[in-house]
Each structure stands twice: as C-alpha cells, then as structure tokens.
Amino acid sequence: MAVRPEAISEKDYGYAKLLRINTRTNRTQEIPSPQHSVGWWPDAAGELRVVLTRHGAKSTLQWNNPATKTWTILESFDTYIGDSDLQVRHVDPDGRLYVTARRGKDKQALWLMNPATGQWADMPLASAEMFDVDALVVARHGKVLGIRFKIDGEVTQWLDPELKKLQQQIDTALPRTTNRISDPWRGNSPWITVTTFSDSQPYQYFLFNRETRKFTRLGGQRPDIDSKKMASMDMVRILARDTLPVPTWITYPPGLAGTKNCLWWYWSTAAPLCQQLHGNGKRRFSS
C-alpha cells in the first residue's frame, strides 16, 4: 500500500488517496476510503478497517463495519486543541482493535476493544502506574506475537511462548543491555536479528542462530564510543510544590563514589548538578 497526496498547501494538506500497488506490474488501484483520510489501518487480509480523517478543525476516527460495508464514527475531536483518546495500533484478524487510550485515567494504556459492540477488555494489555504506555504491536501474518513499549526503558512482553523463551535466553547471554529481537517475516530460518543498547552503549546489531546459539556481529552505531567510559543514567522522581512527582533523569559521572538513589547524592560529592530543561512534556531525550 502507498499514499498519494492530492492537495497540499503551505499551511495544510487537503486529502490523500490510499493505493494498492502491484510490485510486479507497477499498476495501482485506489482503495476506497472516507474523504479527507490521513491515517489508515488495514486488517491482516489487507482490507481497510479504520481511518483517521481530518477536515479543518474536525477530526474523526472511523471504523469500516465488515457486515454492512459502512463507515461508523468511533470518535470525533478537535484537530487543533485535543488529541483523540483512541489511537489505533493494530487490527486483529477477529476485528478487535488494539488501541491506546486513557479511559478517564491519567495514564495511557494499551487496550483491546470490539468496535462492533463497543465492548472493552476488562483489563489493559499493558499499563504502568507512572508512565503513559503507547505500545507497538508485534505481529506476523495476522498473529500478534507481543507488544513493545517504553517506560523508563524499553520493554517487550511476548505473547508467543517460543519468543518469550528466546528472549530470556538472549537476556541471560547479554545481561547488561536491552535486547530487541526481530523474528523473520517468512520461512523457518534459524536466524534472527538482535539489536542491543543501553544508556552507555550505542546500538549494536547481531545475528543469532537459534540452533547453534551463536552470535554474529553485523555492526553498530558510533563505533568510536567506549561504553566503559560512558556515564550511567537512572530515573528518580522529585516532588513539585503541588506534590505531583516529576520524573527526572540523572546522569552519574563514572568513578564517583556515593549512593545513587536521589538528588541529594550530588550534594555529598564534588560533582556539580547541571539541569537540562525543555519545554515539551512529551519529548524524550535520546542523547
């Protein structure tokens, strides 16, 4: 599938068409969707099930009912002053939607909902008390294998028992890093890719053979960085004057003694405390 913009200006874009491309013949076929669609979610069979439309100040999230072949508005919201509480992340083969939503609470979580009945799962699939959870659904050929999201670090919750066991084996072999595994899209190849990283180590890429249990290094980012000389990071929470906790990343210089459990640690050492502030509460620093 591909998107072709049809009307664009310096301030906004009017609408776009969703196309299905035959990679052998280079022929395209337009996929019918509501006007002013800017986001599209097909199911495992390639049928369009959910779209996000935007026209001026009005945005809608719409669902295509397979029984009636009609589009139903799941939610409407103002384009400029409010985001939708429903953010679609995956369409299950049985028609249910994996969505990020708050559902009246302070923190986002990943939920399963049935758009045909409006029924929600009793409990979220992924949530965290102190973090918004906006998960990536890992799926292959219509089957959901796991969910991946970030809190104070990256977390992958595997629903597939084989991948869960494999993740445990790789984490045991590489205990000092976060290890992101990617299963092959096709076939039964024993090879998988493993991406490793930490607060002090840039991304490194490996092939792992499930039969021989051996790693083959492919390469990495920023090869001149010596991870042993890099500072470590930790997240703490300090209370603001209104008693709300403020999540704070602390970078600890290597080689300094002290108890790394709170901001007071800096006051008992010779190391100064430097603050790096930003004005966007949703921004996440990677440096």
pLDDT of residue 272: 67
Tens-digit pLDDT profile for residues 131-168 = 888 899 998 888 899 999 998 888 999 999 999 999 99
pLDDT of residue 266: 47
pLDDT band at 121 (very low <50, low <70, confident <90, very high): very high
pTM over 0.85: no
CB 63 within 8 A of CB 70: no
pLDDT band at 256 (very low <50, low <70, confident <90, very high): low
Is pLDDT above 90 for 254? no
Higher pLDDT, 99 or 3: 99
The whole-number average pLDDT for the span 206-216 is 92
Tens-digit pLDDT profile for residues 165-183 = 999 999 999 998 999 998 8
pLDDT of residue 287: 44
First to last CA, the chain: 34
Tens-digit pLDDT profile for residues 214-237 = 999 999 899 888 888 888 888 888
Is pLDDT above 80 for 269? no
Mean of per-residue pLDDT scores for the chain? 83
pLDDT band at 277 (very low <50, low <70, confident <90, very high): low
pLDDT of residue 203: 93
Alpha-helical (H) ranges within the chain are 161-173, 264-267
pLDDT of residue 207: 93
pLDDT of residue 265: 47
DSSP 199-224: SSS--EEEEEETTTTEEEEEEES-TT
Is pLDDT above 50 for 87? yes
- How far, in Å, are 32, 62, 86, 116, 125 from residue 66 at the CA level? 14, 13, 20, 9, 25
CB 19 within 8 A of CB 4: yes
